[in-house]
Amino acid sequence: MVLKFCCVTPCYNAEAHIEQTLKSVLSQTVFKDRSNQLHYIVKDGGSTDKTIQKVKQTAFEYNNYPNINIEIISQADTGMYDALATSFRNLPEGNVYSYINAGDYYSLFAFEIVAEIFKVNDVQFLTGLSCVYNEKNHLISCHLPYKYKKSLMLAGCYGTILPHVQQESTFWGPKLQRIVDLESLRNTRLAGDYLLWKTFIGYEPLYIVSAHLGGFKIHKGQLTENSQIEYKNEVRQIADSSSLIIFLTALVYKICWLFPNKLKKILSKNIFYYEHLSKVYKVNR
C-alpha cells in the first residue's frame, strides 16, 4: 500500500535552522524507494535573511525524486498558525498529515514507523516518545507519555497542568484533517497545536507509539521562548469549562507520568510497542 504524506513547515528568518528541518523530512526512509509520496509545503512569512535561498537550495537537491513534491510559498503572514492555516488549505488529499517547525526535526525512521502503524491499524491520531534536543542536536530528554484522556484534553489540562502533546512527534489521518477549523487556527497565536489536538480527540483517540519520531530543539529566538504564561492563557480560552473532578483527575495523571515505562504500558491503553518476535508494532488495548 502506497501512502501519501502531507507535511508543512512554517518559517520566518530561520536561515540557521531551516536546512536541518527540511532534510529531516525529505530524507525519510519511506521515500528512498520512490514508492510512498510526499507533498511538502514550506510556508515562509517573508523572511529578510537567507531562509528562502536555503529552502530553494535544499529543494533542488531532491529534484530527481518524482515521488516528492515541494511547494514553496513566501508571503507575509501574521504568525505561525496563519502560515499553517494557509498551507493546510493548499494541501492535497493524503493519508498522513503533520507539521514541523524550523529548528525541530524528525528522526530518520519517523515516517516509516508511522506508515507501518497506519497501514495495518485503524488509527487516525498518533504520537511518539516526547524528545528534546539541545542547541548542539544532542538528545537530552526522552520519555514515554502516559495515556491521553479525552476529558482532560478537552478541559485544557495538557500543556498547563500536564505535559504537552509533543507536536513534533504527532501525526494524523485524512478524517481529522478534514475537520480542522482553518479560521480558528489562523486566529491563534501560541496554542494552535492545542486547538488541533482538542478538535481531533473529540473524534478519535490519541494513540502512542513507544518509538522516537521527532523532537523539540531548544534554541534562541523560538516562539515558545519566555511565552509559557501566554500559551497557558490561550489554552484556557480555547478549552471547555473545567471542574474540581477534572482538576483532581489531572493531578492523579500527573503522578502517573512519573511512573517507569513498564508500568505506564501496563496501565495505559492505546500504546504501540515493537514486538521483536513478530517484527511488527502491536498495540496495548
Given this model, what pLDDT does residue 221 score? 59
Contact predicate 36/5, CB 8 Å: yes
- DSSP string for 68-119: EEEEEEE---SSHHHHHHHHHHH----SEEEE--BTBEE-TTHHHHHHHHHH
Given this model, what pLDDT does residue 269 score? 85
Indicate the pairing of strand 105-106 with strand 214-217.
Answer: antiparallel
Work out the percent of the chain whose per-residue pLDDT is above 90. Answer: 92
Given this model, what pLDDT does residue 223 score? 54
How crowded is residue 221: how many other Cβ atoms within 10 Å of its Cβ? 10
| 108-131 tens-digit pLDDT | 999 999 999 999 999 999 999 999
276 burial level (CB within 10 Å; 0-12, 13-18, 19+): exposed
Rounded to 5 degrees, φ, ψ at 17 are: -125, -20
Spell out the residues 6+ positions from residue 133 whose beta carbon is closer than 8 angstroms to its own.
105, 139, 140, 215, 216, 217, 218
**Quick check: pTM over 0.85?**
yes
Q: Which domains does the chain have, with CATH numbers?
A: 4-284 (3.90.550.10)
| 218-271 tens-digit pLDDT | 876 555 555 889 999 999 999 999 999 999 999 999 999 999 998 998 888 899
| 38-47 tens-digit pLDDT | 999 999 999 9
Mean pLDDT throughout 267-278?
93
Given this model, what pLDDT does residue 224 score? 54
